[in-house]
Structure 1
Amino acid sequence: MDPNRRKAFEREALPHLDALYGMALRLTRNERDAEDLVQDSLVRAFRFYDRYEEGSNIKAWLFKILTNAFYNNVRKRKNLRRLESEAEVGGHYDRFISDASTLGRDAEKALMEKIAAEELSRAIEELPEEFRTAVLLCDVHDFSYRDIAEIIERPVGTVMSRLYRGRRLLQRKLYAYAVEQGYIKVPEAADGDDAGVGADAPASLDDYRKRRTTGRGGQR
């Protein structure tokens, strides 16, 4: 074994050990499995270190090896889960997610600051694996879309789609937690003319327009 090669590898790879372990722990959700995954990934990285282009993004290269190793292990155990279908988002969720919602960006930022780190971590861990990976790589480890595409070996468009769906699911989970903790007060239907609006609300703007047209016609 070439000692110079080992030193070069350690100099490049070891500074990213903590980040690799953090990613592995999020993926495996188990400390022992995370340690095994990091060790396996470093062994593979050293074995193929001659393929690494010096001066390029060593962190992205290491994360690609780790991510591939994780999914290979999952496939071997035949535990790769199907992507969950995204459930329809209710009216309250839409108000939370939309830029035009009653919360607004400043209120959403304030809300995120109130949410406990433990709950945020748990919400991320509950995401489907492929969404979780994209969110972790982008929002936790600050990889660019292009880097993530190289790491998971998927087109940039796929990365963006997974990020959008993963973040949307994450926001739903955090919204439910915020309501439960009292950070958000869900508006109740008022008495009088507005009573029952939620149950009888139009499903879309087109429905609303049709109903208004019908209403005007009935008044003539």
Structure 2
Amino acid sequence: MSSDRGSREADFQREILPNLDSVYRFALRLTGSEDAAEDLVQETFLRAWRSFEQFKPGTRAKSWLFTICRNVFLRQVERGKKHGEIVEREAPRTDSGGYGGDVVNPLWADTSRTDPEGSFFGQIVDDEVLGAIDALPEEYRTAVVLSDFEGLSYQEIGDLMGVPVGTVKSRLFRGRRQLQKVLYDYAVEMGYLTSAGEGA
């Protein structure tokens, strides 16, 4: 990678900046707040610029940025705990504001093959899907977002989170299972589906 500043800026704009929307979506799911997500994105890209010489051209910039973003977030959470701060996560809006734009939910795109009622879950309004994701424990939430929204591989997620691929699969399974239960209960409550116990 060229060492002069002009080339460095050009490389950064070409390799890193196109991932801005993806990093914002990830930050929004981590923080649950648009303001906090914007701050987290700014800090992420500032650190990415400062350490850009560590980025290897040809590798996946998105994974590198997600790693920085998550590390910054976890340090902020830990710092908040040390200072006795109470961190409240608010449900983010799902309009087209901010960096992220609309989020398409692919979580249950193929569930109808194995679950007769599975096709319903892909049609639940985004507010319910995103709210359910935001309620997951951080390690499940991160795995689900990176896999089902951002398309990272198990290996990439494992590298990012510092865990083996088997752990990634386990967290995805448990996270998706929790989501399906929450959204199934919501569907029954709203009358979209009939409870399995009814009519027996």
> By the TM > 0.5 criterion, same fold?
yes
* Preserved contact between residue 74 and residue 80 of structure 1 (Cα < 8 Å): no
**Cα distance in 2, alignment partners of residues 189 and 110 from structure 1:** 22
2:62 is matched with 59
- Unaligned 5+ runs, structure 2: 88-111
Larger radius of gyration: 1
**Superposition RMSD on alpha carbons, in Å?**
2.0
Which is helix-richer, 1 or 2? 1
CA deviation string 1:24-71 (max 9, x = no partner)? 111111111101101101111111111111111111111111111111
Q: What percent identity do the matched residue pairs reach?
A: 46
Corresponding residue pairs, total: 169
What secondary structure does 1:107 align onto? coil
CA deviation string 1:97-130 (max 9, x = no partner)? xxxxxx8635234211331111111111111111
**Cα distance in 2, alignment partners of residues 114 and 136 from structure 1:** 18
What secondary structure does 2:194 align onto? coil
1:1-220 aligned at under 5 Å gives the runs 2-78=5-81, 105=114, 107-186=116-195, 187-188=197-198, 190=200
1:210 is matched with none
- Unaligned 5+ runs, structure 1: 82-102, 191-220
**Cα distance in 2, alignment partners of residues 148 and 108 from structure 1:** 29
Deviation at 1:176? 0.5
Deviation at 1:189? 6.2
Q: What one-letter code is carried by the residue in structure 1 that aligns with 2:185?
A: A
**Cα distance in 2, alignment partners of residues 108 and 189 from structure 1:** 16
> Which 4+ runs in 1 deviate beyond 2 A?
103-110, 187-190
**Cα distance in 1, alignment partners of residues 178 and 38 from structure 2:** 28
**Cα distance in 2, alignment partners of residues 16 and 8 from structure 1:** 13
